[in-house]
């Protein structure tokens, strides 16, 4: 596996104003969607990001791709800080980092043909001579498993899986180094999910792509990711390789998430019991001072409420370098 860092997020923060009061419309608080996230994506690998709905995964995806601006922090792409670039620099940046969206229908313009949708990024970036656009688009369509002869068809004429293939072809149009996939299979049937995941893995192998793959389904991420980050209420609470995280989760929240994943074998289902979390997720407008999971954690003690745990190696496995956890009392600790 490559050790070369391609994409890095450093102390990323994204707060959204919440409500307003007074004649000047002053905000009465902020939704802390992403709060101090650090992550690393290595060249040719896949970083999976998982967590419940509302934990900040999709916001993080849009921050990484500069679709929305971070409140603070830095994004380093291939050794270059892209946090403050704008104008032509930002347009040039789009060639290196692209996004696949969750809903394959709403992310495609229904008034444009497939050919126009896929050609549009190339036209904006002026990377393919106009006379060669159609040929390049048809090459991309064939690459993602679509019939090149359907170049003039419209999104409504395709199935959900085919529409997601169109979205993938559009993301590939600029030959990016990184693709951020925001729950790219969650809106698809299970049988189609497997096809899209296999396609993404094949494209990664053939084109040397690197992925940030976001999902709420842990079983999906398990088979595609080289490393998995678990988010809770705007923060990363655990990062580990899949074989470590799925066999010996260190954070209680990760353990609870995994306990809810259905098992294919009745014996395995019988061996692990479902952990039902008590209480509600704290408000992202006014999160707790200490550990954000403390109010729902069965291991919480006074220090958890008073002091936020740092994300670091705490010897929760026999080989601490295999993962990082933000917990005062991690599972499997020595």
pLDDT values of the chain reduced to their tens digit, one per residue, 334 residues: 557 999 999 999 999 998 755 555 566 689 999 999 999 999 999 999 999 888 999 999 999 999 999 999 999 999 999 998 888 888 888 899 999 998 878 889 999 999 999 999 999 898 888 788 999 999 999 999 999 999 999 999 999 999 999 999 999 999 999 999 999 998 888 889 999 999 999 999 999 999 999 998 888 898 899 999 999 999 999 999 999 999 999 999 999 999 877 665 555 544 457 787 887 888 999 999 999 999 999 999 999 999 999 998 654 443 445 689 999 999 876 5
Whether residue 52 is contained in a domain is answered as: no
Q: Residue 302 in 3-state DSSP?
A: helix
Nearest to 12 by CA among 315, 305, 229: 229
Whether residue 153 is contained in a domain is answered as: no
Rg (CA), the chain: 21
Residue holding tokens 């919480």? 300
Whether residue 140 is contained in a domain is answered as: no
Whether residue 323 is contained in a domain is answered as: yes
Whether residue 6 is contained in a domain is answered as: no
Nearest-angstrom CA–CA distance, 266 and 56 = 33
Report the C-alpha dihedral over residues 288, 290, 291, 297, rounded to 10 degrees: -80
Using the 8-state DSSP alphabet, how is residue 309 labeled? P
The beta strands (E) that lie in the chain are given as 5-17, 30-42, 46-50, 72-77, 80-81, 97-100, 178-182, 210-215, 227-232, 235-240, 323-325
Query: How many C-beta neighbours within 10 Å does residue 263 have?
Result: 12
| Residues 192-199: contacts with CB under 8 Å, at least 24 apart | 192/159, 192/160, 192/161, 193/220, 195/145, 195/161, 196/161, 196/164, 196/165, 196/168, 197/223, 197/224, 199/144, 199/145, 199/165, 199/168
Q: Which pLDDT score is estimated for 88?
A: 87
Nearest-angstrom CA–CA distance, 25 and 301 = 40
Q: Which pLDDT score is estimated for 263?
A: 64
Whether residue 303 is contained in a domain is answered as: yes
Q: Which pLDDT score is estimated for 276?
A: 77
Backbone angles phi, psi at 111, to 5 degrees: -90, -10
Whether residue 131 is contained in a domain is answered as: no
Domain that holds residue 272: 248-333
Whether residue 325 is contained in a domain is answered as: yes
Number of domains composing the chain: 1
């Amino acid at each position: 596996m490559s050790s070369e860092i391609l994409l890095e997020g450093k102390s990323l923060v994204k707060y959204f104003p919440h409500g307003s009061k007074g004649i000047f419309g002053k905000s009465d608080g902020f939704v802390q969607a992403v709060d101090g996230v650090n992550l690393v994506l290595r060249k040719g690998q896949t970083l999976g990001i998982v967590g419940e709905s509302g934990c900040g995964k999709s916001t993080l995806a849009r921050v990484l791709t500069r679709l929305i601006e971070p409140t603070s922090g830095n994004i380093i792409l291939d050794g270059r800080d892209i946090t403050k670039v704008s104008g032509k620099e930002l347009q040039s940046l789009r060639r290196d980092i692209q996004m696949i969206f969750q809903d394959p229908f709403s992310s495609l313009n229904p008034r444009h043909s497939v050919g126009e949708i896929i050609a549009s990024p190339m036209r904006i970036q002026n990377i393919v001579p106009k006379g060669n656009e159609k040929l390049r688009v048809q090459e991309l369509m064939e690459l993602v498993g679509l019939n090149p002869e359907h170049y003039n068809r419209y999104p409504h004429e395709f199935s959900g899986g085919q529409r997601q293939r169109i979205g993938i072809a559009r993301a590939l149009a600029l030959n990016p180094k990184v693709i951020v996939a925001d729950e790219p299979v969650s809106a698809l049937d299970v049988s189609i999910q497997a096809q899209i995941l296999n396609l993404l893995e094949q494209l990664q192998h053939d084109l040397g792509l690197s992925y940030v793959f976001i999902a709420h389904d842990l079983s999906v991420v398990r088979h595609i990711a080289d490393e998995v980050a678990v988010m809770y209420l705007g923060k990363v609470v655990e990062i580990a390789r899949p074989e470590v995280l799925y066999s010996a989760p260190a954070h209680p929240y990760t353990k609870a998430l995994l306990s809810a994943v259905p098992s294919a074998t009745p014996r395995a289902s019988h061996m692990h019991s479902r952990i039902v979390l008590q209480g509600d997720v704290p408000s992202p407008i006014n999160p707790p001072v200490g550990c954000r999971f403390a109010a729902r954690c069965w291991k919480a003690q006074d220090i958890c409420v008073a002091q936020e745990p740092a994300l670091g190696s705490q010897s929760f496995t026999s080989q601490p370098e295999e993962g990082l956890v933000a917990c005062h009392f991690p599972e499997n600790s020595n």
